[in-house]
Every structure is written in structure tokens, then in C-alpha cells.
Amino acid sequence: MNIENMNALITQVNDAVWGYALIFVLIGCGIWFTIKTHFVQFRMVGEMIRLLTDSAVDTVETQVNEKGTEKKRHISSFQAFAVSVATRVGTGNLAGVASAIAIGGPGAVFWMWLIALIGSATAFVESTLAQLFKQKHKDSFIGGPAYYIQRGLHLKWMAITFAVLITCQFGLSNNSIQSNTICDAMLKAFGWSPIWVGAVLAALALFIVFGGIQRIAHVSAVLVPVMAIGYIILAVFIVVTNIDLIPHVFKVIVLDAFGIEQVMGGGIGATIMNGVKRGLFSNEAGEGSAPNAAATAATTHPVKQGLIQALGVFTDTLLVCSCTAFIILISGLYNVPELNGIALTQSALQSEVGAAGPVFVAIAIFLFAFSSIIGNYYYGEANIRFITHNTKVMTVYRICSAGVMVIFGALASFELVWNIVDFFMAFLTACNLIAIMLLGKYAFRLLDDYRHQKRQGIKEPVFHRSQMPEIEHELECWE
């Protein structure tokens, strides 16, 4: 089977899997979690921000052993947030948004917003569960859906299935998208050959991933704020200088999302599907990826990481994705058939700020996507360690994730890499949603306990596993 036939087959499977069933389940779960948590994503925004700024340094644990006293550094809540945002804020924010608009129309942006607003409650539940069921690791904690599926549901086969799916999705196929987008941006901006750009990316990524989660966390904590702030400043400048067009932009988005022409012509399906798919790819709420980063943090209560990760969804979609959408819609280039993906974003910026636009996007996408590559790698690592501790397997995975798939993405077509990601993303999301629907009751209880302690005047609520006696024996941490 040649590449064209394989791409066509994957497209057919994606259209079948990504029918309205999965979209309705994703939205339905978000609404259910929003109601059960009493709208946590809206009512506790202030607490989310407080926790983020209050946890911006490493947690140091002092241990005494036969060699004397030693200090063991854990991943802070801020660093865990940075790793998860590094994977969220990337290609999906620049190329993914552009692709959604190009294929589904401006109305796709509305559905991206919707999936972020309700999906942040889903992100809260899955990340809180990841903290609850996390396990001790040599230089941090480790956890995620595979861990809470095994410990909470006692379904080993389902846990392994999830671990394999997320490794294929994030550790492998997602990295090909990041590389593909970087190479396209560099080619347009500087004329650099994709194969050489891919080779340099692979070398840099391999250097970082062989350094472990501590190096990944430190790199992400530096790159994420820099790239996000720089891009947002540029977007705000463009919006302010075109402030008279903003009412028209909102009108176009809303009318296209519910337009009569789209409904009558069947185009509404493409608008919703592309908005939800690209929104999910960007903010990852419900996909089961961010919980792997959330589990690494040292914190006093599982709800803290749940709140911080919910904030990450807002940061990604409502802020960064909206910046890209506004730039593209202000430019008016979204109707040009030959423009798609990162090329559309670059052309839109070029129309607003001149020749510097494509260059800026090339640099920005390098920072966005490169941080995603190393963050994606860690998600795969955490889940391979769930399956096996064989060091040879881990070495092979590192080479494939940061090396082989980065090179593959540099050489493959835009359509092929996105189709492969959509394929794994659908099954991965379905597996995680089933798990968190069954385990969500624990997250609700934890949230009630957190709010109760806050009402009592306790600034930093604390959780002990004895508070959940029915699963106490399944909780390795929280002594």
C-alpha cells in the first residue's frame, strides 16, 4: 500500500470515528462535569491563579538515609503546569486553528471556544484523579490515566491499552506534526530545507529527553512563558490596530457557527467537527495527556493540580488560539483555497505586519512546537514505564520519539501527519472519558473537601489518604 492509499484509508476511518457520536460524548462529559463540580472552571478562577503564582518554586523534600541527610527536589506545581502547557501551546494554536478555519470556516472558532469552556471541567477531573492515584518515582512522582485506570478501576488491560495509545499519539505521531509545522514555517520564512531542519530538531530533542523529567520541566518553565507572552503581545497589537474590525470578526464567527447556509448545505457538520477536533488537539481536555504532567507535581492536595490544569485549558484556547483566529480573520485570507495550516497564519501576519510576519511565526512556532516535542515525549515515557521498566525499551522509545518521528514529520505531507494524529486521538479520548466518568466521584469528593477547608479559613488545604478509606490501600502517596 502506497502513501496516498494509506492516507485515504486513514481519512475514511477518521470520518467514521469522528462522527457526531464522539463529539457529543466529549461535549456531554464536559457538561456533566461542569454541573457536578458546580461550575468549578468559572467559580474558582481566582484560586487557580493564586495557586499558580504561589507555587512557582521547586518543592524540596529532606530525607534521611544511611548516607546522611539529602535533599530531593520535586517538580513544582508551576513546572507541571509548564510541561502540560508546553504540549497544549504548540502547533494546534497556530497551524491547527488555521486548519480548522480553512476547512470548517470561521464558525469553527466558536466550537473551539465551547469545547474549552466546558472541557476545562473535564481537565479538572482528570488531573485531580492523576494526583490522587500518583506513585513515587526516583526524581519526582509519576502517574496519569493508565495509573488511575489500574488503581481505581482494576482493569489492567484497559490501562495498558491507554498507555499504548497515548505513546503512539503523543510520543510518536504528535511529534511528527510539530516537526512538520516547524519545517513548513522555516521553508516559507527562510527557504531552509526540511531535511536539515528536521535533523537539527532531532538532535536538540534527543539531547533534552535523555536528561529526564527534571530537564524537561526546567526547559518548559523557561520556553512556555517566553513564547506565549511574545505571541500574545503581537496579537494584541494587531487587534488594537484593527479594533474597528473586531465586532465584525465576532459576527462572522457566530453567524458561521449557526448560519442557515451551513445548516442547509450540510456545512455545519464540517464546522463543528473541525472546531471540536482542533480544539481538543490544542487544549487536550479529556484526552488524558495533561494528567501525566499533573501527576508529577508535589502538592498538598490533589485539587490544586486539577485547578491549575483547568487554567491551562483557558490559557491555551481562549487566549492563544483566539489570538491566531483574530489575526487570520482580520486579514481576510481564510477564503484563499491554497492557504492552510501554518502557511495561512504566516500569510495573515505578513498582511498585517509586513515581511517580518512569516519570520516571526517561524521563530514562534519553533519555540511553541519544540517545547511540545519534549513535553509529548515525557507523556510517552511515563506510560512506557507503566508497562515495563526495561531500559532498552526506553532507549528505543527515546530514539523513535525525539529522533525518527521528528525526521518523519519533516518529510511527510501536511495531510498525512494530521490524519494519523486524528486517528489515535479519537480512540485515546474515548478510553480516557470512560475511565474518568467511572472515577469522577472521587474528584467530586476531593473538591468538596478542598472547598470545606477553604471555608474554614485554611489557606493551603491538605489531603490524607485516610480520608478515603475504601481506596486507601490503592493510594501510594498522601500519607
CA distance 364 to 349: 12
What is the structure's pLDDT at 145?
93
Using a cut of 0.85, tell me whether the model's pTM lies above it.
no
Residues 6 or more apart whose CB falls under 8 angstroms from that of 306 comprise 123, 124, 125, 127, 128, 131, 294, 443, 446, 447
Joined together, the cell numbers standing for residue 155 give: 482493569
User: What pLDDT is attached to residue 215?
Assistant: 59
Domain count within the chain: 1
Q: Is residue 66 part of a domain?
A: no
Position 398 in a domain: yes
Mean pLDDT score across all residues of the chain: 80
Where do we find the cell 467511572? 438
Q: From the centroid of its chain, how far is CA 285?
A: 7
Range of the domain at 456: 11-56+74-240+276-474
Which H or E run contains 22? helix 20-36
Q: How many residues does the chain have?
A: 479
| pLDDT for 38 beyond 70 | yes
Residue 340: phi and psi, rounded to 5, are: -155, 160
pLDDT at position 165, please? 93
Whether residue 479 is contained in a domain is answered as: no
Q: Which of 146, 192, 188, 196 is nearest to 171 (CA)?
A: 146
Highest mean pLDDT among 22-36, 59-73, 380-394, 435-449: 435-449
- The answer as to whether 380 is a domain residue is yes
Q: Is residue 250 part of a domain?
A: no
Lowest mean pLDDT among 57-61, 64-68, 137-141, 294-298: 57-61
Distance of CA 410 to CAs 100, 136, 316, 321, 402, Å? 21, 37, 25, 24, 12
Q: Do the domain assignments include residue 465?
A: yes
The closest alpha carbon to 312, from 63, 45, 55, belongs to 45
The C-alpha atoms of residue 255 and residue 200 are separated, in whole angstroms, by 44
Cα separation, 20 vs 410, whole angstroms = 32
C-alpha cell at position 193: 530545507
Q: How far apart are CA 457 and CA 145, in angstroms?
A: 32
Torsion of CA 173, 339, 275, 226, to 10 degrees: 70
Angle, helix 45-54 to helix 77-88, in steps of 10 degrees: 110
User: What average pLDDT does the segment 56-60 reach?
Assistant: 43
Alpha-carbon distance 344 to 3, whole Å?
A: 25
Residue 281 pLDDT greater than 70, yes or no: no
Angle (CA) 13-19-23 rounded to 5° is 125
Coil, strand or helix at 90: coil
pLDDT band at 90 (very low <50, low <70, confident <90, very high): low
62: pLDDT confidence band, cut at 50, 70 and 90?
very low
The CATH number of residue 89's host domain is 1.20.1740.10
> pLDDT band at residue 155, thresholds of 50, 70 and 90?
very high
> For residue range 310-347, what is the model confidence (pLDDT) as tens digits?
888 887 778 878 888 888 898 888 887 777 777 787 78
Q: Does residue 441 fall inside a structural domain?
A: yes
412 domain residue, yes or no: yes
Widest CA span in the chain:
74
Q: What are phi and psi of 403, to 5 degrees?
A: -110, -70
Give the CA distances from residue 437 to residues 64, 284, 294, 386, 432, in Å, rounded to whole numbers and listed in that order: 41, 17, 18, 22, 9
| Percent of the chain predicted with pLDDT > 90 | 24
Residue 356 has pLDDT above 80, yes or no: no
